[in-house]
């Protein structure tokens, strides 16, 4: 795996980035272009199919309020080196492709989409430090993902979440190669979800705009936010490219988990204090978005919404079969998601 990409400084670097990308062979360029084009088309279909979340104003977790700022045109410009497109993730992209690592999520963990921000009160992550456990050591050893242990530990210590909980969330989301290595440069071709945390564009922008997050501090330092604290239009591509930076993805996964757990507590959901309880509840928030997570965990998810969520995850045909077997869309969706969480969210596997 390549080294983590440093947080980019504003200005400069684009010419070198274009040179690197133009060095890819035609097959590698085609793989990138195909994933991006398929993602954009599928995103439009998901938005048309799912629409809004309901009268409370939450966005569907697969819909994008702002479209796909990391556009196909931006990617093509980066490949051709037009001097105006994002450079921050290029070294990782190029290194991964030259090693033959597929940039498209393979569906075995990566490829689940998560929701846009729900508008809850901002959480000060630092004020929660230590409440849910320290970072501690991870059982990554000298394995294929050992290089991520320091990043996970740092994010855990900053947010007060167990490192093993963060590791299992990343493990469930990230695309992997044949050796089980997490692939930082991965894209879900069915949506805009990307990187180790498989963040949608809208959710990533929301974390950049939310005060107190690692990504907000980075965006401010790079001048990517306007005077109102919103992502500048001309900075979106650069910001979104950071999803392919392992450190940025891990830090943002931790901030998003922290905010979701705090929001669920405020909504009256029992979060628990054990590492496994925290990890599973945080993952449900990561997977569904906070609004749907509250409804799921309080048993108030309506049948129509449950059906749309299940269709989006496993397809209409399989969803119909599950609903027929379970007797209702709510029961079928609950069974599917709890089974997935039970099989994939296992922090004990990462606790030293």
Q: What are the CA-CA distances from residue 165 to residues 82, 130, 280, 324 (Å)?
A: 41, 14, 8, 34
For residue 136, which of 171, 166, 173, 181 has the smallest C-alpha distance?
166
Q: Is the pTM of this model over 0.75?
A: no
Q: What are the CA-CA distances from residue 43 to residues 74, 102, 321 (Å)?
A: 17, 20, 25
Share of the chain above pLDDT 70, in %: 61
* Torsion 20-189-182-74 (CA) sign: positive
- Which two three-digit tokens encode residue 350? 């990462």
For residue 349, which of 229, 180, 190 has the smallest C-alpha distance?
180
Residue 227 neighbours by CB under 8 Å, 6+ apart: none
pLDDT band at residue 13 under the 50/70/90 scheme: very low
Share of the chain above pLDDT 90, in %: 50
What is the Cα 333 distance to its own chain's centre? Answer: 21
Return the axis-axis angle of helices 214-221 and 201-209, rounded to nearest 10°. 80
Given its phi and psi angles, is residue 92 left (phi above 0), alpha (psi -120 to 50 degrees) or beta?
A: alpha
User: What pLDDT, in 10s, does the model give residues 280-307?
Assistant: 999 999 999 999 999 999 999 999 999 9
User: What pLDDT, in 10s, does the model give residues 184-217?
Assistant: 888 877 678 889 999 999 999 999 999 999 999 9
CB 223 within 8 A of CB 11: no
User: What pLDDT, in 10s, does the model give residues 111-120?
Assistant: 333 333 333 3
């Amino acid at each position: 795996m390549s080294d983590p990409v440093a947080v980019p400084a504003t200005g400069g670097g684009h010419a070198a980035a274009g040179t690197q990308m133009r060095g890819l062979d035609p097959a590698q360029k085609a793989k990138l272009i195909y994933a991006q084009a398929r993602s954009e088309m599928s995103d439009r279909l998901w938005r048309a199919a799912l629409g809004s979340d309901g009268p409370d104003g939450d966005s569907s977790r697969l819909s994008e309020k702002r479209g796909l700022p990391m556009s196909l045109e931006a990617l093509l410009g980066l490949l051709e080196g037009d001097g105006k497109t994002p450079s921050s993730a290029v070294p990782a992209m190029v290194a991964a492709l030259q090693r033959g690592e597929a940039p498209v999520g393979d569906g075995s963990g990566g490829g689940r989409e998560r929701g846009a921000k729900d508008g809850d009160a901002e959480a000060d992550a630092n004020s929660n430090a230590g409440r849910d456990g320290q970072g501690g050591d991870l059982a990554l050893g000298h394995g294929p993902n050992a290089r991520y242990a320091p990043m996970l530990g740092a994010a855990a210590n900053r947010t007060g979440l167990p490192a093993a909980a963060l590791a299992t969330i990343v493990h469930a989301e990230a695309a992997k190669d044949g050796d089980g290595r997490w692939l930082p440069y991965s894209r879900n071709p069915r949506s805009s979800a990307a990187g180790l945390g498989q963040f949608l564009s809208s959710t990533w922008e929301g974390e950049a705009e939310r005060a107190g997050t690692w990504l907000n501090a980075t965006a401010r330092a790079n001048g990517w936010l306007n005077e109102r604290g919103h992502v500048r239009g001309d900075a979106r591509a650069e910001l979104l490219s950071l999803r392919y930076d392992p450190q940025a993805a891990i830090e943002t996964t931790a901030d998003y988990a922290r905010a979701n757990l705090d929001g669920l507590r405020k909504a009256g959901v029992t979060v628990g204090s054990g590492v496994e309880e925290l990890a599973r509840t945080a993952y449900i928030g990561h997977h569904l978005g906070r609004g749907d997570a509250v409804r799921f965990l309080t048993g108030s998810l309506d049948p129509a919404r449950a059906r749309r969520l299940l269709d989006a995850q496993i397809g209409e045909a399989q969803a119909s079969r599950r609903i027929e077997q379970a007797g209702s869309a709510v029961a079928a969706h609950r069974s599917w998601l709890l089974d997935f969480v039970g099989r994939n969210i296992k922090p004990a596997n990462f606790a030293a």
